[in-house]
Structure 1
């Protein structure tokens, strides 16, 4: 006979680890399945820096920001780990939404101040600022390589089971739950397949979500927005001005010819020991997550170097190390957080989800326990 479980979380990246943590806090029996080993660099949750950029004005995201700031503080206290370095975030450029962002954050009690480019340059001389600047002191950098083990460690302490090197090769939806066929390939694995049943599954499989759900058999049809998986190729640039201070930053272009060689807005931050990370947002080549080159696209990389020469005077644009990660993006860049039958889906974080990780874990736990629905903008049926 197969094993019968309560809640299975499929995918042990940021969102799956947070969902396991949130469910275990509620006393639920939870098993987290991750196809790769701890600390792998194949998906979207590796590296030591992600910007916690508070630059939102839509009420759903602003509410999640306020909750997330409190939850990150709580996680640091519970885990004994520093997960967030509050360097602040500066968003700049001819973005007409910046006044709306400032008003929305101020109303929510999240600090935001407008600066002129000259005022900003006096504080952060490594960056050349463009037209208008919004400084958000409550933002900073999160550390995925510390956060994921912290979530999993706290979940395990409350009874969760974490199984690495365990791939779900088939998900079958039944009237009363799900049936999973598992393949384990890690140390000590005996080979062959294992079949387990569960009352429900939380799918947080990142770039593998569509592959997993496309093969789901059983009653009903799981429909979600199309998920586009891209290989993003930011780079770490060597710091040339050792005295410069570095907040996280986001630079939105305008429509004039001066921005003609831009691919998208640019984000960036300092990664201690590695340099200043900068990258285009969500414009890398579309890939199969099981067959990636991990190599930078040379034209995009050259354009990123041109950006660094023009806008980041504190770095050496000719001294860099390219890095690689994946985005899984919905058409509207809003997340998918919903429940369809016995399957809870957390997907499509579109390159801006990591800051919300503990809130997403709470929402997924709400959906799994029937506590409350997610905001409508995250509906799978939209």
Structure 2
């Protein structure tokens, strides 16, 4: 039997789950298909902590931050789940854009204040600070492992169909929709969808390439295996904000690969990692093992800049980034295909806003901001 569906969302990670939630709130008939099982750790949406870092100055992102904070609050109320812990975020180091960030956030009504490094060290003794320190009290940590099921439960309550262990093996764009082939444990199924929302993370290029449609070109997506670690806390009295540390010159920065992000993950330690510089991988052929030189450099970072942890006592983590050349997202519609991709390691905080934008694109309500166009 050939099934006719309204809207199929391909990929049940953060953005696909949020798209299903947003579309179901508008009364659309949504089918979300995910090739792996619930709570899998193969992509980018697992773990219990992601920083909600408000440190943006471009107007598109600042506007999305304000909307996102409101939507996260609404999602917490509707789901009954605690999703955001407001520890504040501290960005520090010789980053020339921090004054612009502070000005943009203040103008938008978000709190941002510069502190002296000595004052910051007194408040957050587990971190060594240098040069300028920007404190953003509205930031904190989000919990993906609670958020994804919440999006999906709320979508199902409004009629969405969530199908795990359902892999898309055929993708053909036609004049009147998209023909899809699904592979499940029970066999194969062919459906036609009036429209498709692709939120496939590291599998996006594979999926769009399989469609064989030149019009579905997007900016180059690079999939990397990122390798943060949880370090054991040694200072039990320390208070930990989320943090981002930008490199400068001098001996303390030798061997750095990128800026460093970090946060407290309750029960696991202090998470810290390089940003977007892990080895390029095929998402279907990952080792899940850390690259030794980058891991050693991360330990050296912790030894120098995180006096509240033991740099030799840690647990390595593995996840993926799917990054565009400019690190701006892809949020666009090409014919019957809506694409949400390239979140470049900084997208999770915007998840419910991305869901809203993808729903706008799928329903023809309004386009996404120009910076997210696939044709840029």
TM-score range, shorter chain: over 0.9
> Which residues of 2 match residues 12-161 of structure 1 at below 5 A?
12-161=12-161
Distance, in Å, in 2 between the alignment partners of 1:43 and 1:124 is 32
Instruction: Report the alpha carbon displacement of residue 130 of structure 1 after superposing the two structures with TM.
Output: 1.3
> Which residues of 2 match residues 251-266 of structure 1 at below 5 A?
251-266=245-260
Q: Write the deviation string for residues 78-114 of structure 1: whole angstroms up to 9, x where unpaired.
A: 0000000000000000001011000100111111111
Partner SS state of residue 345, structure 1: strand
Instruction: Report the alpha carbon displacement of residue 364 of structure 1 after superposing the two structures with TM.
Output: 0.1
Distance, in Å, in 2 between the alignment partners of 1:273 and 1:59 is 36
Partner SS state of residue 182, structure 1: strand
TM-score between both structures, scaled by the size of structure 1: 0.97
Distance, in Å, in 2 between the alignment partners of 1:283 and 1:171 is 31
Which of the residues 194, 201, 206 maps onto 1:199?
Answer: 194
TM-score between both structures, scaled by the size of structure 2: 0.99
Which of the residues 310, 315, 319 maps onto 1:316?
Answer: 310
Distance, in Å, in 1 between the alignment partners of 2:80 and 2:191 is 35
2:252·2:304 contact (CA, 8 Å) conserved in 1?
no
Instruction: Report the alpha carbon displacement of residue 170 of structure 1 after superposing the two structures with TM.
Output: 1.4
Instruction: Report the alpha carbon displacement of residue 256 of structure 1 after superposing the two structures with TM.
Output: 4.0
Aligned equivalent of 1:247: 241
2:366 is the counterpart of 1:378: no
Distance, in Å, in 1 between the alignment partners of 2:114 and 2:158 is 44
2:242·2:262 contact (CA, 8 Å) conserved in 1?
yes
Partner SS state of residue 221, structure 1: helix
Unaligned runs of 5+ in 2: none
Distance, in Å, in 1 between the alignment partners of 2:138 and 2:251 is 34
Which of the residues 206, 212, 230 maps onto 1:217?
Answer: 212
> Which residues of 2 match residues 228-243 of structure 1 at below 5 A?
228-243=222-237
> Where do 4+ consecutive residues of structure 1 move more than 4 Å?
none
Aligned equivalent of 2:175: 175
Q: Write the deviation string for residues 94-150 of structure 1: whole angstroms up to 9, x where unpaired.
A: 001011000100111111111010010110000000101000000000000000000
Distance, in Å, in 2 between the alignment partners of 1:58 and 1:209 is 26
Partner SS state of residue 215, structure 1: helix
Distance, in Å, in 1 between the alignment partners of 2:367 and 2:356 is 11
Distance, in Å, in 1 between the alignment partners of 2:234 and 2:224 is 31
2:316 is the counterpart of 1:338: no
Aligned equivalent of 1:325: 319
